[in-house]
Amino acid sequence: MPKRVYIETFGCQMNEVDSARMISLLESADYRQANSIAEADLVLLNTCSIREKADQKIRSALGELRRWKSGRKGRLVAVGGCLAQQQGARLAEKAPHVDIVFGTHNIARLPDLVRRAENAIPSMEIDFSGDTSHWDAPPYIPSGASSAMVTIMQGCDNFCAYCIVPYVRGREISRPSGEILDEVRSLADRGVSEVILLGQNVNSYGRKEGEITFPALLRRIARVPGIPRIRFVTSHPRDLDRETIDLFGDMEALCPHIHLPVQSGSDRILAAMGRGYTRKDYLEKISALRRGRPGMAFSSDFIVGFPGETESDFEETLSVMEEVRYDSAFSFKFSPRPGTRAASFAGAVPTEAAGSRLRRLQSLQDEHTRERLAACIGREMDVLVEGPSARDASQLCGRTSCHKFVNFYPEKTRTGSLRTVAIRSAGAHTLSGAEGAPRG
Ligand code: SF4
């Protein structure tokens, strides 16, 4: 009887795909995925340290796992990911019920570490070895999945002033293009229609290694039969080049949506953040993308209350939003991460002012999201089905090529993962519709 592992993933898509790889790797130690903590023999937290809130959630999860572990002999707890990388020694000291602590460069070692833990030998492996052998393990994907994430690189060399990623993921390493293409081909063979290429800064793919460029990689992936949709995340606005921008106009398979994190609309704050572009540079790239692919959708990340941000800096951020009218956005209050440059910057913005700016920004974004969704009503859109709708079992749920969620009534006779849906209404965050002619 195989044992069961339950993985709780915090943070970004890089962590999600690493968790999917951990499931594959653990098969060699005779573990299969559990659907709940209750049925697990091993619970693994794949952690994030990008914001203080994620950090607190993980500490509270560890408290609960202390009780879970004492409920039956032989239960194991492992902690991996960015927080483990950054604070491994402290974690092991503060949470002695944790059997395994492993860093972002030690994922391939997981099966061995689990076998040791089964023999009551705790482990802590958090060295920055540059080991990427875990890329050899194909990420677990559920059968029938229509979309899959493919890692193309890891780490980052940018050292933006607020960001912990280069310290916990290490320097940028690109994966050989041959391996990426093999993974994409095998996903196509399994019926996957959409690949999402993942990296902290995909636009600098291959530069250090002398690999093919990112646009060349996109062209090769587009030639793999059976992959009608390609996406990528995350793009750095400074590194998004003309060739990649032009591909949005030339390459049908490249979905008309880009996540392009601006972070702030003020040049003074962008310089303090060390982002390497100005508001003007950013807006020019947005315009070029719109010209190349009319109807293109945009999403972004924002940080409000960065040290030294004045009301007028913040208003410049709002004005970028008004100009771009993003389809969606992630926005956060600045949270100083120990070890980053910005953690020691003067000019802290009072919590109340930062909170009020965040509320204003989010309310403006809600308005724009509603407006962008409403513009879809009456159109027929191709939707990639992800599964049954969570809110109504008679409906399916999927995403448009411009990355909008749609719940829709399917035609009973139709099958396949790509469906044409007539959009009938729009809510605050999703669209609704029906396959075939619009109803009602
Ligand atoms: S580009 Fe900047 S924000 Fe993005 S991961 Fe690298 S350091 Fe962090």
pLDDT tens digit sequence for 323-338: 999 999 999 999 999 9
Q: Please give the pLDDT value at position 35.
A: 92
Q: State what percent of residues in the chain have pLDDT above 70.
A: 99
CB 364 within 8 A of CB 315: no
- Whether residue 53 has pLDDT greater than 80: no
Name the residue with tokens 């619009």: 438
| Lowest-pLDDT choice from 81-85, 137-141, 288-292 | 137-141
Which pLDDT score, from 0 to 100, does residue 89 have? 86
Q: Is the CB of 236 under 6 A from ligand 1?
A: yes
The mean per-residue pLDDT over the stretch 229-250 comes to: 97
On the question of pLDDT at 55 being above 80, the answer is: no
Among 200, 238, 282, name the best residue to mutate to test ligand 1's pocket (greatest count of ligand atoms within 8 A of Cβ). Answer: 200
Q: Output the CA–CA distances (angstroms, integers) from residue 234 to 68, 151, 375, in the order listed.
A: 36, 11, 26
The closest of 283, 332, 329, 326 to 306, measured between CA atoms, is 332
| 14, 202 contact by CB (below 8 A) | no
CA-nearest residue for atom 8, ligand 1, is 163
Instruction: Say whether pLDDT at 16 is over 50.
Output: yes
For the stretch 291-306, pLDDT in tens is 999 999 999 999 999 9
H or E element, residue 179: helix 177-189
Task: State mean pLDDT over 94-105.
Answer: 93
**What is the number of other CB atoms lying within 10 angstroms of the CB of residue 253?**
19
> For the ranges 7-16, 320-329, 345-354, which has the lowest average pLDDT?
7-16
Which of 154, 163, 164 to mutate to test ligand 1, by most ligand atoms within 8 A of the CB atom?
Answer: 163
Give the ligand 1 atom nearest the CA of 236.
1
Confidence at 440, pLDDT banded by 50, 70, 90: very low
Q: Give 385's contacts (C-beta < 8 A, 6+ positions apart).
A: 146, 396, 397, 398, 416, 417, 418, 419
Q: Report which protein residue has its CA nearest ligand 1's atom 2.
A: 160
> Does pLDDT of 6 surpass 70?
yes
CA 157 to ligand 1 centroid distance, Å: 8
Cα 165 to ligand 1 centroid, rounded to whole Å = 6
Q: Is the CB of 158 under 6 A from ligand 1?
A: yes
CB of 163 shorter than 6 A to ligand 1: yes
The pLDDT of residue 134 = 87
Average pLDDT over residues 4-23: 93
Expressed in angstroms and rounded, the spacing between residue 275 Cα and the centre of ligand 1 is 9
Is the separation of the CB atoms in 195 and 253 below 8 Å? no
Taking only the tens place, the pLDDT of each residue in 174-204 is 999 999 999 999 999 999 999 999 999 999 9
- Residue located nearest, by CA, to atom 1 of ligand 1: 158
Mean pLDDT over 52-60 rounds to 81
Sheet containing strand 3-9, strands side by side: 31-33, 3-9, 42-47, 76-80, 100-102, 123-125
**pLDDT value for 150:** 96
Rounded CA separation 63/79 (Å):
13
Q: Is the pLDDT of residue 54 over 70?
A: yes
pLDDT in tens, 261-319: 999 999 999 999 999 999 999 999 999 999 999 999 999 999 999 999 999 999 999 99
Q: How close is the Cα of 54 to the center of ligand 1, in Å? A: 17
- The pLDDT of 393-405, averaged and rounded, is 96
User: Quick check: 437 pLDDT over 70?
Assistant: no
Band of pLDDT at residue 439, cut at 50, 70 and 90 = very low
Amino acid 42 reads: L
